Amino acid sequence: MKIENRSGDIIELKGVERHYVQGPRKLTILNGVDFSLRRGEMVALVAPSGTGKSTLLHTAGLLERPDAGDVILSGKACGRLSDDDRTAIRRNDIGFVYQFHHLLPEFSALENIMMPQLVKGLPATEASERANQLLDYMQIGNRGHHRPAELSGGEQQRVAIARAVANAPLVLLADEPTGNLDPVTASYVFEALAALVRQSGLAALIATHNHELARRMDRRVTLNEGKVVPL
């Protein structure tokens, strides 16, 4: 499996604000966030529920537009791009992993990993080859032809991680990726994810309530009054 050699900052949030209106009230969720990720770096986002973790991940991942400030990806300002342009960037440069795997139940593990590559336009033979490489890398190469219902929770999440990086993104954003797993399985899945980040040069922001896993990352941050601060 080809691993690219990358170095330096890859994503920056500059003065990012997000507000929501509830009746007569305006709720400020992100309040001038300044934050960056380097290539090959894993950062734990540890904060209580309701403080804006998902909003931060969605804004960084170009799923939501900032109300102020910008998201800079590989030197390009992305926050004000058109929906089509932001969709293309998400497809090619950003990978997402969630607490629930969201695998397509009617397709095999191999086909689930092939899917984003086929959407990108890769030939089926190339998509299959990379999917098999990723399955082997995640140590579940013998499970490629099993459907999600036939896989354990840890296996499902490893397939979800492989799918998230199938298009060789620059950034990986994960929202409680081990939240549904028992401690032993969570540790195993985390190790597979960490190895992938280190060797591929991804920049990874991982929201987690698991303080043990958070301590194993490069640094920890939290949200305080709408700002990202060191923990």
E strands within the chain?
9-22, 25-38, 42-45, 68-73, 76-77, 94-97, 171-175, 203-207, 219-224, 227-230
Domain membership flag for residue 69: no
Q: Does residue 145 belong to any structural domain of this protein? A: yes
Is residue 7 included in any domain, yes or no? no
pLDDT tens for each residue of 76-121 = 999 889 999 999 999 889 999 887 888 999 999 999 999 999 999 9
Six-digit token string for 188:
């195993």
**pLDDT at residue 4 is higher than 50:** no
Residue 1 has pLDDT above 80, yes or no: no
d(CA 58, CA 207) in angstroms, rounded, equals 12
Q: At 178, which helix (H) or strand (E)?
A: none
Segment 130-174, tens digit of pLDDT: 999 999 988 899 999 999 999 998 899 889 999 999 999 999 999
Q: Is residue 112 part of a domain?
A: yes
Instruction: Give the integer Cα–Cα distance in Å for 44 and 221.
Output: 6
Q: 43 in a domain, yes or no?
A: yes
In whole angstroms, what is the distance from residue 124 CA to residue 145 CA? 16
Q: Is residue 226 part of a domain?
A: no
14/20 Cα distance (integer angstroms): 19
Domain that residue 161 falls in? 38-62+81-220
Beta bridge partners of 222: 229
H or E stretch at 98: none
What global pTM score does this model have? 0.88
Q: How far apart are the first and last CA of the chain?
A: 35
- Each residue of 191-212: pLDDT tens digit? 888 888 888 888 999 999 889 8
In the predicted model, is pLDDT for residue 6 greater than 70?
Answer: no
Q: Is 5 a residue whose pLDDT tops 80?
A: no
Helix (H), strand (E), coil (C) string for 99-163: CCCCCCCCCCHHHHHHHHHHHHCCCHHHHHHHHHHHHHHCCCHHHCCCCHHHCCHHHHHHHHHHH
Asked if residue 126 is part of any domain, the answer here is yes
- Count of domains observed in the chain: 1
CATH number at residue 182: 3.40.50.300
User: Which residues make Cβ contacts (< 8 Å) with residue 23, sequence separation at least 6?
Assistant: none
Residue 75 lies in a domain: no
